[in-house]
Amino acid sequence: MKSEDLRGVVSVRTQVPEQALTADVLGCERQGHGVIFSDDGLVLTVGYLVTEAETIWVVDANGSAVSASLLGYDQATGLAVVQMLGSLDVPPLELGYSADLVVGQKMVMVGCGGAEQVVDTELCEVGEFAGYWEYLVEQALFTEPAHPDWGGAALVGEDGHLYGIGSLLLQPENDKGEARNMIIPIDLFHSTRRALLAREEPDSPRPWLGWYIRNSKNGPIVLGTVDSAPAEKAGIVAGDVVVAVNGHRVRSINETFRKIWGTGNAGVSVDLALRREDALRIITVESVDRSDMLWRPVLH
């Protein structure tokens, strides 16, 4: 694979207003990578770089920059597409199919910036990933060694095709392990592409509670809540252990998310059995569509 074949991997830089919902957690100035995948200036990236962005710039490896606008963001997959409002003289990357990959396959993780942003890696696992921010990917790709600048970086095969978009850096569970990247598989983009490019909102948005939870030996435990989100309004606090959702016992955050999402669309009431200081209590949370809480730029 020649380096010129990877010029479609670009830098994505955004500015987010201080009043945005995600500003405290993700910051107001964000920078990562994206992939030009079409001749008409469409860029695929990871959603947390561009959500609630007031300004978006796409920059190539030579420093040439054009402004861009958010075309679509799919919260379920974590993928986003931005439209460049100018042109860059770089070729787009072709899209592969992540279902064709096999564990042990040699690949590269590519960021914008030349050879120093290319990391030889290997697909070490394909499996389920649950994130504490109400996020779940069933066929996530895991690679190692990890790319140190992973956000929006491209997972590219020896054929030069794009197979995934970098999302996370996962630290090893013990000193003997190696850090790895969690990659959003490109097949999730194939399944949502039409809706993203058409700026369509999902017909059945998931119920969102606005809490952060992780697995623990006692069960899913609350790390905190989003300001003014349903979980905070309902009285959920850090340290609460989730015992059941709508009367169904849950033992992991994976099960918790699935039970909540299976309750119905955003706006549905969710009954949570929570253990707090050895006392069990039932709290009803009125879910919302997370999109309704996001800051949106004023269009003139």
**Superfamily of segment(s) 3-84:** Trypsin-like serine proteases (2.40.10.10)
Neighbour-count burial of 40, counting CB atoms closer than 10 A to its CB (0-12 exposed, 13-18 middle, 19+ buried): exposed
Helix, coil or strand: residue 90 = coil
DSSP letter (8 states) at residue 51: T
Asked if the model's pLDDT at residue 299 lies above 60, the reply is: no
Tell whether omega for the bond before 145 is within 30 degrees of 0, i.e. cis.
Answer: yes
The CATH architecture of the domain made up of 98-186 is Beta Barrel (2.40)
Same topology, domains 98-186 and 211-293? Answer is no
Q: What is the mean pLDDT of the chain?
A: 94
pLDDT at 80 over 50: yes
> Tell me: the pLDDT tens digits for 22-45?
999 999 999 999 999 999 999 999
Q: What percent of the chain has pLDDT over 90?
A: 89
pLDDT value for 268: 98
Tell me: the pLDDT tens digits for 155-177? 999 999 999 999 999 998 767 77
Give mean pLDDT, residues 232-246.
98
Q: Are 156 and 108 a contacting pair, CB within 8 Å? A: yes
If you average pLDDT over residues 202-224, what whole number do you get? 94
pTM of the predicted model, to two decimals?
A: 0.95
Closest by CA position to 165, among listed 6, 35, 12 = 35
- Write out the H or E segment, with its range, that includes residue 83: strand 79-84
Taking CA atoms, 219 is separated from 107, 152, 182, 242, in Å, by 36, 32, 23, 7
On whether the CB atoms of residues 97 and 190 are closer than 8 A, the answer is yes
Asked if residue 213 has pLDDT above 80, the reply is yes
Range 211-293: architecture per CATH: Roll (2.30)
Predicted confidence band at 300 (pLDDT cuts at 50, 70, 90)? Answer: very low
Task: Give the pLDDT of residue 126.
Answer: 98
pLDDT surpasses 70 at 61? yes
Q: Domain limits of the chain? A: 3-84, 98-186, 211-293
**Which tokens is 126 given?**
């394909």
pLDDT digit string, tens, across residues 119-158: 999 999 999 999 999 999 999 999 999 999 999 999 999 9
At 273-287, the pLDDT tens digits run 999 998 999 999 999
